[in-house]
Structure 1
Amino acid sequence: MSSNYEPLIPAVSAFNERGVPVSIDFNDVYHPEWGALEQARRVFIRGTNLIDRWRNQDSFTVCETGFGLGHNFLALWQAWRDDPHRPTRLHMVSFELHPFTRRDLELLWQNLPESERRLAAQLVQAWPPLLPGLHRLEFEGGALTLTLAFGSVERLARQVSARVDAYFLDGFAPRVNPEMWSRHLFGQLVRMANAGATAASWCCAGEMRRGLRDAGFLVSKVPGFGGKREITVATLRPGMGQQRIQAPTGSKIVVVGGGLAGAGVAQALMLRGHEVEVLDPVFAQGLGGSHKGHIAAALTPVISRDDDIRARLSRAGVLRALQRWQGLPEPARPRRCGTLELARDAQHAAERLLAVNELGFPSDWVRWVEADEARALTGVGSNRGGLWFADGQLVQPEPLLHALFSLPGLYCTDQLVGSVHAGPAEQWMVCDKHGQVLASAPNVVLANAWHASGLLSGMADVPGLPKLRAIYRLGGQVSNFAAGSFGELKAIVAGEGYCLPAVGKQCVGGSTYTVDPAVSQITTQGHQEVMSKIATLLSVPSGRSNSMPAAMGGWAGWRAAVTDRLPVIGPVSAAPGLWMACAFGSRGLSWAALAGDVIAAQLHGEPVPLERELLQKIAPR
């Protein structure tokens, strides 16, 4: 197990003799007896001078050191809704070591006032599975975001990328939870702070105030209320902090690439008010042309026993896709049918079961199922157990791409990009192979798989990116079969290969991998390889392999990858305005929505929905 891994332990609902919620982990109350919402308004919103400071701003970010029961977020949300001079976009980052389950929160919020109870109902619906790491929730059409950091604040404060305007310092008392009030944490708060950032706390302990002062805040005490004589307020010292950035809302952005990566980026930018032009000759075959004829694909998380980088990225990507795409109309909306990852043999089964037990993930995310339950969940006969991922999704790539590229504010043209270079007035020039300008914009995103390397090689003023220049391509195919060929399949079944529930009269099995072939096309050999994988997956006896159904066509395409098999997402540091979203390998569906929100958040100075160490691993280099 990695030394960085922290199993997430949910909070337990409990109350003291006066009916106030208490933490059994820290032996402290979540809020004063006279009310959490009033504390939120008087201590945190008023103490940070928030209403005056966010007045008519494009964007404003609040960071809270303990989410607890969520009353501060609900009060902040209501204050934002009530203020006619509110910022256009409001973001909150909140840390929580022991989050409550959705069911417990629903019960604990039953006695809220009507206005906050309506907001709490939305929060309950969006509440994520209790998995360690960052979780991005969106409300009010994306104008309000909540980034939950589940895990210890000591570790996760180092991992958050944000530009914070106000801090709600709301942890349990220093005597029972010193980690929440350490100088190390205060140093991280200063790292994230915008110039002029303010802070407020119910706590008034001398050591806490000295720690804030030493970190760089001007600290003072002001009169308290509700039996509390004084509370703490603070302002970052002049000359410290990050400068606020002006979000480029409404500006044009060019995306090169009409596949899944380009679609994920284009959607995220459109949602933030940009005009987005997407260029790819594949659009001559339609907006879903890059996956034309690709009936179905699987979107499934992966786990590893040590919760490695790839597993964490996969988890983040699948959760972003759930948020981003479940609101699409059918047939573009992914079907949440679940995925069964079958164990290969007894040893593999023991390894996977051990991984699930050690990770401690909630059963509504992943759990081990024995053979009988596996058959009931999937509709396929099998004598093996496996891992059940309830959030496994079946995706129809062509309709998905068509829906995303049809969004308002997106303009798709079937032009082949031959070069990209820096132009005058901080513009990037996107040209055809003859050097004629096709489009220009302050920001350009290269989301065109291995072709991105070729465009980079023509940029004399961009230093070498050895990892990205070593990108390689893989060809492969999937095969189509008549619906019912593998029984009444209700869920994705995966292992060395996979088979998917039927879409219409056909179902899909996959897949093959060929390193850098001259062409990627459907072949008889490819069909045989797919059928062999499915036969192994479904435990078809070798003597009966000839009973496998015949393929009825399929789809062939390309994948692009780099040596560590991680995606390449983010800004090219030496070329301001140039961004990358490529090398997605065989997990284009897993990375697409995540890539869009990572790039859009960095461009707009929003809290980034991915830990800093993960951003470093996927950064163009």
Structure 2
Amino acid sequence: MTIAFPIKQLNTLDSDISGQKVYSNNYNDIYFQADIGMAEKQHVFLKGNNLPKNWQQHAHFTIAETGFGTGLNFLNTFKLWHKNNNGKQHLHYISCELHPFKRQQLQQILVAFPELEEYSKELLEKYPTILTYGFHRLHFQQYNLTLTLIFADCVTAFEQLQANVDAWFLDGFGPSKNPNMWSDRLFRVIANLSHINTSLATFTVARKIRDGLSAVGFSINKAPGFGQKREMLTAQMGKDAVTKEKQPWAQTFKAKKAKTYAVIGAGIAGLSLADKLQQQGRKVVLFDRQHQPCLETSGNPQAMIMPALTLNDSPEARFYLTAFLYALRYYDKKYYHPVGVQQLAFSNKQKNWQNKLIERFDLPEQLLTKTEAGLFYPLAGWLDTQGHAQNMGQNLNYQQAEIIKIDRDKEQWHMQGLDGAIYTTDVLILANGMNAKKLLNGYDLPITPKHGQISYFQANDKHKQIGACSHIQLAEGYITPSWHGIQTLGATFDHIDEPICYGAASTEKDHWQRNTSLWNGTDYEDYFKSLSSHKARAGIRATTADHLPICGAIIKQSKFKLDYHDIHHGKHWKQYPLPQAVENLYVLTGLGSRGFTSAPLLAESLCNQILATPQVLSHELQKAINPNRFLFKELKRK
């Protein structure tokens, strides 16, 4: 199977940058004319799409662009949006780029446009440090604007995109310089992402472009070009796309008639989701049985944040790399400590695994390097969980209540607390780990409980002698740097019976022996023996068989089994209907031991699903975390 976004670094273009002239040696063309570049782009793409007028009546407006290039189209739009929105609207700008500039190159280019300085500064501050294939989402919260950069060729990028586009900027090098880009496949995917009245503008009037757009349903109009260019094209879509989902079992579902939202579970998953919904102006209540967020499984004082690479280019590896890069942008620098993670080659087997990983993947040095001790992840690190939780929680509507039962009438969800209190909401999201399974009585939620324990202790001077004070040391277990004199050592990973897993986790007496035994035969063995005291805390993780989380709508499983009972015969996907969702019920669980790495991205993805805004995840990764995947695979295996 072809992988849309393989794990490897991108090749940047061979470009000459001089003043306001940027020339591509690969395509033998300039990105824009030095003296009129900005004005031309404003004329073609902003005026050509009737902006800002066309976005005035939209709460959410989505622009998609072929070819991010130097970012000038985005920055022009950013400025226009800032000056011309009502403060309650949100702009989604989506742009693909196969050969992105590095941050330093963009900085060198954009300094020539002082009129865009405010917006260039914002872009450069958030621009991806690590350039990898796939989706990179940047939030400009102060401006109610979201930029999604998709580093890939245009066809691959847009075939993996889930969005309803309101306006298209068809930019990039023209058909004579870049014929591979302007294909019938591109025009088809543009049509599939459009709706009736979607607008489009492009600088070229080439016959190939006109015919391609007409063939997929656009009405074409030649308009006056800019400067010496006599003509340009504008277009409008005359129909809605017939189908947008090639694998109906993985359909996502928008919430209906939603004014109020309830999130059950205030671990890092629920906390992140409540934050995302509130950022979108939604009325959210966060429920938890504890008096404040992140006191149970998410309560370890130092949470490790890093990617999870595998020897094969697996969905698991791609998801956690995407999640890691998103988390780096999400967490406040006040609470995230990018001290680096040193993954030790503690055995010959581990050494061989690490060597194969380095050989197999061409990864940027900012992401991963080989050292004498093993592998080093420079940007990985740890999060002050309690500082982050307290900072986030103070802005949320928090309700301490242990929800023991959920029911729905025709209009709303009803939640019953342990004390008998009843709460109501339009939309209900279960983000409470294993307890989501308990509340979904009769629904097959394939998560398994794992009991985990960490040990923590007062560091002494000896830890400085063995190098444990700089980076997180990772082998079969992990040890964190000293923070306020405390170090964390973890973690166990044990099976626990399901009836027990719904309550609070208990610590076991042997936690210290088990966590320290992972370091026997190393310099740390004597260090641990020198410590005078230690403590422990425990949590219960919700895990899945494929090591990926569960994020999305709850479907009517009995109906799905009936509709898909013969899928194992290999019938075409077109013969199967969309699943039916339980109205306004969603789940976010199964984060395992990587919750702090994955929760921000998962929260953004689920928020996108609920509100039907452009999806932060590629289609292939959204399928990989879909709650319905296990049932679908089970039916296919029959």
TM-score by length of 2: 0.85
Query: SS of the counterpart of 2:403?
Result: coil
CA distance in 1, matches of 2:437, 2:145: 36
CA distance in 1, matches of 2:482, 2:278: 32
CA distance in 2, matches of 1:55, 1:126: 27
C-alpha RMSD over aligned residues:
2.8
CA distance in 1, matches of 2:151, 2:528: 50
After superposition, the Cα gap between the structure-2 partners of 1:71 and 1:17, relative to the gap in structure 1 and judged at 3 Å, is closer
After superposition, the Cα gap between the structure-2 partners of 1:477 and 1:17, relative to the gap in structure 1 and judged at 3 Å, is closer
After superposition, the Cα gap between the structure-2 partners of 1:270 and 1:504, relative to the gap in structure 1 and judged at 3 Å, is same
- In structure 2, what is the equivalent of residue 503 of structure 1? 483
Q: 2:261 aligns with which of 235, 253, 265?
A: 253
CA distance in 2, matches of 1:56, 1:209: 29
- In structure 1, what is the equivalent of residue 451 of structure 2? 475
- In structure 1, what is the equivalent of residue 548 of structure 2? 566
Note if contact 2:456-2:489 (Cα within 8 Å) is conserved in structure 1: yes
Tell whether 2:315 aligns with 1:277: no
CA deviation after TM superposition for structure 1 residue 305, in Å? 3.5
- In structure 2, what is the equivalent of residue 63 of structure 1? 64
Unpaired runs of at least 5, structure 2: 245-252, 556-580, 629-638
After superposition, the Cα gap between the structure-2 partners of 1:442 and 1:204, relative to the gap in structure 1 and judged at 3 Å, is same
Query: SS of the counterpart of 1:147?
Result: strand
CA distance in 2, matches of 1:415, 1:396: 25
CA distance in 2, matches of 1:231, 1:293: 58
After superposition, the Cα gap between the structure-2 partners of 1:524 and 1:246, relative to the gap in structure 1 and judged at 3 Å, is closer
- In structure 1, what is the equivalent of residue 407 of structure 2? 421
Tell whether 2:397 aligns with 1:411: yes
CA deviation after TM superposition for structure 1 residue 87, in Å? 6.9
CA offset digits 1:5-63 (Å, max 9, x no partner): 26443324633899731222322221234433212210011111122211142111100
Note if contact 1:195-1:241 (Cα within 8 Å) is conserved in structure 2: no
Segment drifting more, 10-19 vs 487-496: 10-19
Segment drifting more, 64-73 vs 395-404: 395-404
- In structure 2, what is the equivalent of residue 304 of structure 1? 310
Q: Which amino acid in 2 is paired with 1:605?
A: A
Tell whether 2:621 aligns with 1:614: yes
Q: 2:601 aligns with which of 594, 601, 612?
A: 594
- In structure 2, what is the equivalent of residue 494 of structure 1? 474
TM-score by length of 1: 0.88
- In structure 1, what is the equivalent of residue 559 of structure 2? none
Tell whether 2:175 aligns with 1:199: no
- In structure 1, what is the equivalent of residue 295 of structure 2? 289
Segment drifting more, 40-49 vs 85-94: 85-94
- In structure 1, what is the equivalent of residue 120 of structure 2? 120
Note if contact 1:136-1:146 (Cα within 8 Å) is conserved in structure 2: yes
- In structure 2, what is the equivalent of residue 387 of structure 1? 375
CA deviation after TM superposition for structure 1 residue 556, in Å? 0.8
CA distance in 2, matches of 1:160, 1:546: 50
Unpaired runs of at least 5, structure 1: 371-384, 459-463
Note if contact 2:64-2:93 (Cα within 8 Å) is conserved in structure 1: yes
CA offset digits 1:444-466 (Å, max 9, x no partner): 110011111121125xxxxx5x4
CA distance in 2, matches of 1:338, 1:478: 20
CA deviation after TM superposition for structure 1 residue 268, in Å? 0.7
CA distance in 2, matches of 1:84, 1:20: 32
- In structure 1, what is the equivalent of residue 276 of structure 2? 268
CA distance in 2, matches of 1:156, 1:590: 24
- In structure 2, what is the equivalent of residue 380 of structure 1? none
CA deviation after TM superposition for structure 1 residue 405, in Å? 2.0
CA distance in 2, matches of 1:137, 1:19: 26
CA distance in 1, matches of 2:391, 2:86: 35
Segment drifting more, 31-40 vs 230-239: 31-40
Query: SS of the counterpart of 2:262?
Result: strand
Query: SS of the counterpart of 1:555?
Result: strand
- In structure 2, what is the equivalent of residue 373 of structure 1? none
Tell whether 2:396 aligns with 1:396: no
Paired positions, count: 584
- In structure 2, what is the equivalent of residue 362 of structure 1? 364
CA distance in 2, matches of 1:155, 1:552: 52
Query: SS of the counterpart of 2:52?
Result: helix
CA offset digits 1:42-98 (Å, max 9, x no partner): 001111112221114211110001000100000000111222558711110000001
Note if contact 1:59-1:87 (Cα within 8 Å) is conserved in structure 2: no
CA distance in 1, matches of 2:82, 2:386: 38
CA distance in 2, matches of 1:319, 1:136: 9
After superposition, the Cα gap between the structure-2 partners of 1:266 and 1:77, relative to the gap in structure 1 and judged at 3 Å, is same
CA distance in 2, matches of 1:222, 1:275: 45
Q: 2:434 aligns with which of 434, 450, 456?
A: 450
